């Protein structure tokens, strides 16, 4: 009798929740639930009620339900997922275009928060906080030297717009602590990493992800480049994991003629949708080269596929990730979310570029990139094999392209496994390179600013001091990280020094200057310049 009463009560509560969910996320024609005696839903409800009411030990009902949802989506495709309210907020924030906080870029060295750059015109800069400042206290809490987790520090610094936070700051050359009261504000999150003229008449834009404000950022960048005489564009989507479909469609629209197909979607229970160019784009002429690699996915593949299939430009790099599934977010009442795959998307030539997967087998799916490396697909184009059934033709020049797992570039650039050595990877993984760079900047910021008043002067004349390289190698040795032999050390140093120069540029200016340094040694970027020439 107890089970029957509790189960009935629980069924009623869950029924209300699911009914709300149906109304909130979809029409009755799209989602229907049965609550009859033979319904699988009733079976699940009774099982949850029985465990919660009768199990020998107490259970966390919230976790019980969450585990049940995770179990359901785990058996679907690799991109359907469940996230808690906290996870959902963290996941959405980079795509929404801003967050609320004090407005500083920072890093933590030896348990101390060091300000790398205050956001221009942000709340911290307005009260006088400077690059190099150490924030040692937030309100009444000391955060320096106490081994506080980064997430805990961020939690204290962030807060609703308009609220105030007291900061205790130590600044080089000034005795004692400085005290600041910062009024939190909206802080923009940028998804465009770099915009600059990489060569005369050749512009370069790198997009890190596709968020709510990416299109506006992109158009601002295009206007800036056109004012500087851009005739050709390199659009860098390397390592871009995707984001909002509409942002990708809006950017692709800029390159294509009226009614050119950009992408279309097909699903079992959702309406088929076509996205076509409006013909009002500002980039319909001029050479275009799109850069991709094995980590370019989803929305970045939409843009790449549209430009390739419509023969609007060439694609350079390595085969992209291969995510051709469309997720619909289903918001749950407590702020958590189910991201449910509802359709496949197709490029204009008809390619579904989702790579193969087995339902419920995440391990094999996650090992795909490692398996590509083992098979030689990242280092040798001839190691990549496509079935003839996956052949498609581009829409204007009728060039052969392939479906079945990612976008295959027109110009393949192999991964140089010798340039980025194991020794370098180990130094980077232990944060030895980053920490040494931060200490160097901290000790020499004023001197560097005086010697190099602008990036052009820095880029032309700065040479990484041997003492910085020696410090990195010495710290590596302390942690038992050493090169295998002289040959490995010889191969490591040129790329390490380039990276260090780029990191110094980033901390003195911004991320765009970092890429201006690194791109001169990036094989995919260099190949793109060859293609444009």
Helix (H, G, I), strand (E, B), or coil: what is residue 448?
Answer: helix
- Angle at CA of residue 173, ends 172 and 178, nearest 5°: 70
229 in helix, strand or coil? coil
Closest by alpha carbon to 292, among 241, 225, 351, 357? 241
Return d(Cα 117, Cα 505) in angstroms, integer. Answer: 12
Do 528 and 234 meet the contact criterion of CB atoms below 8 Å apart? Answer: yes
> What is d(CA 238, CA 295) in angstroms, rounded to the nearest whole number?
7
Helices (H), 362-418: 362-366, 368-374
Residues labelled as active-site residues: 298, 309, 323
State whether residue 312 is helix, strand or coil.
coil
The DSSP H or E segment spanning 303 is helix 299-309
End-to-end alpha carbon distance in the chain? 81
**Residue 6 CB contacts under 8 Å (≥ 6 apart), including other chains:** 49, 52, 53
CA dist 163 and 183 (Å) reads 6
Query: How large is the C-alpha radius of gyration of the chain?
Result: 26
CA 391 to chain centre: 30
Contacts of 518 (CB under 8 A, 6+ apart): 498, 499, 502
Query: Cα 185 from chain centroid?
Result: 24
CA distances from 297 to 105, 244, 248, 319, 414 (A): 27, 12, 12, 10, 18
Which is nearest to 325 in space by CA: 410, 213, 242, 250? 242
**CA–CA separation, 497 and 149 (whole Å):** 30
- C-alpha to C-alpha distance for 133 and 144, rounded to whole angstroms: 12
In whole angstroms, give the CA distance from residue 83 to residue 409.
34
In angstroms, the CA 162 to CA 328 distance is 33
Q: For residue 44, what are the CA distances in angstroms to 31, 33, 34, 64, 326?
A: 18, 13, 12, 12, 27
**How deeply is 520 buried, as exposed, middle or buried, from its count of CB atoms within 10 A (0-12, 13-18, 19+)?**
middle
- Helices 422-429 & 432-451 angle (0-180, nearest 10): 80
Q: How far apart are CA 266 and CA 326, in angstroms?
A: 9
The residues with which 150 forms a beta bridge, in sequence order, are none
Alpha carbon 516 to its chain centroid, in Å, reads: 20
């Amino acid at each position: 009798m107890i089970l029957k009463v509790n189960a009935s009560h629980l069924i009623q509560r869950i029924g209300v929740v699911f009914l709300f969910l149906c109304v909130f996320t979809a029409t009755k024609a799209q989602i229907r639930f049965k609550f009859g005696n033979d319904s699988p839903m009733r079976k699940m409800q009774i099982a949850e009620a029985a465990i919660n009411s009768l199990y020998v030990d107490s259970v966390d009902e919230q976790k019980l339900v969450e585990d049940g949802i995770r179990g359901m989506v785990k058996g679907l495709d690799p991109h359907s997922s469940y996230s808690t309210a906290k996870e959902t907020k963290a996941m959405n924030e980079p795509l929404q275009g801003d967050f609320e906080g004090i407005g500083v870029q920072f890093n933590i060295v030896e348990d101390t928060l060091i300000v790398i750059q205050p956001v221009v015109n942000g709340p911290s800069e307005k009260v006088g906080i400077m690059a190099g400042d150490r924030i040692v206290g937030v309100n009444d809490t000391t955060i320096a030297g106490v081994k506080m987790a980064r997430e805990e520090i961020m939690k204290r610094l962030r807060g609703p717009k308009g609220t105030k936070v007291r900061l205790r700051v130590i600044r080089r050359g000034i005795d004692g602590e400085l005290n600041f009261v910062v009024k939190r504000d909206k802080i923009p999150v940028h998804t465009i990493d770099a915009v600059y003229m990489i060569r005369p008449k050749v512009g370069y834009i790198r997009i890190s992800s596709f968020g709510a404000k990416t299109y506006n950022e992109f158009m601002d960048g295009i206007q800036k480049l056109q004012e500087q005489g851009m005739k050709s564009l390199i659009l860098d989507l390397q390592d871009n994991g995707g984001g909002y479909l509409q942002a990708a469609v809006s950017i692709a629209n800029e390159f294509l003629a009226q009614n050119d197909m950009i992408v279309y979607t097909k699903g079992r229970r959702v309406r088929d949708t076509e996205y076509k160019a409006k013909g009002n784009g500002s980039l319909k002429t001029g050479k275009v080269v799109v850069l991709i690699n094995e980590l370019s996915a989803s929305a970045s593949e939409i843009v790449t596929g549209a430009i390739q299939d419509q023969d609007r430009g060439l694609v350079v790099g390595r085969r992209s990730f291969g995510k051709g599934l469309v997720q619909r977010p289903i918001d749950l009442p407590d702020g958590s979310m189910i991201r449910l795959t509802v359709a496949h998307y197709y490029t204009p030539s008809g390619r579904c570029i989702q790579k193969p997967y087995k339902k419920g087998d995440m391990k094999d799916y996650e090992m795909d990139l490692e398996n590509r490396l083992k098979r030689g697909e990242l280092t040798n184009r001839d190691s990549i094999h496509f079935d003839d059934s996956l052949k498609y033709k581009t829409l204007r020049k009728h060039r052969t392209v392939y479906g079945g797992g990612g976008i295959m570039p027109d110009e393949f650039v192999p991964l140089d496994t010798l340039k980025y050595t194991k020794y370098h990877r180990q130094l980077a993984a232990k944060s030895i390179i980053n920490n040494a760079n931060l200490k160097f900047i901290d000790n020499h910021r004023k001197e560097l600013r005086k010697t190099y008043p602008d990036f052009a002067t820095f880029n032309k004349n700065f040479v990484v001091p041997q003492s910085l390289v020696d410090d990195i190698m010495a710290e590596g040795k302390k942690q038992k990280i050493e090169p295998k032999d002289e040959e490995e050390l010889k191969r490591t140093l040129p790329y390490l020094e380039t990276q260090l120069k780029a990191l110094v540029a980033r901390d003195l200016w911004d991320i765009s200057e970092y890429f201006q340094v690194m791109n001169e040694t990036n094989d995919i970027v260099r190949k793109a310049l060859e293609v444009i020439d």
